Amino acid sequence: MKPICIDANVFIASTKWNEPYSSDCKRVIQAVAEDGFYLIEPAICLTEVIRNITKYLGMESGKTLENNLRRMVSIWEICDDHFCASAGYSGALYGTYATDSLYLETALKHHAVMVSLDEDDFLLRIKGRVGLEVLHPKDFPED
């Protein structure tokens, strides 16, 4: 099985269904559920997903997605002081924003495929520089 780290924006877009890449995001999530991936996420992913989904779709949708995430994720990377400091240095090295740096650090630590919707301000800054497979959902391989 292959480790994969998915930015919260992919979960959010797959749930909202009205985003430009919602169907691609849904395909990524389904691949994790059905194929040879195991999901590794920084704990902050829960905050991002729950906050955004409850804002747009309500509390019940937030709770449903939280439960789904808890079942899907194999490893939660705890954002303690050491991990956050390391993520800060990685972010400085690669020019990523703070929260993106937490996802990047998670992927680096576990040698995971990194998937995000944020192509310009995240993926293009790290692609070819971090030694990881870095993908936008539109580029995620189909079965």
Radius of gyration of the chain (CA): 14
CB 32 within 8 A of CB 26: no
- List the chain domain ranges: 2-139
Query: Looking at residue 2, what is its pLDDT?
Result: 95
What residue ranges of the chain have pLDDT lower than 50? none
**Cα separation, 5 vs 1, whole angstroms:** 13
Distance of CA 128 to the CA centre of its chain: 18
Please check whether the domain covering 2-139 is classified as CATH 3.30.300.20: no
pLDDT of residue 143: 67
Neighbours of 18 (CB within 10 A): 7
Element holding 71 (H helix, E strand): helix 59-72
Helices 44-57 & 59-72 angle (0-180, nearest 10): 150
Residue 41: beta bridge partners?
Answer: 76
pTM of the model: 0.95
The per-residue pLDDT for range 108-142, each reduced to its tens digit, is 999 999 999 999 999 999 999 999 999 999 999 88
Residue 107's pLDDT is 98
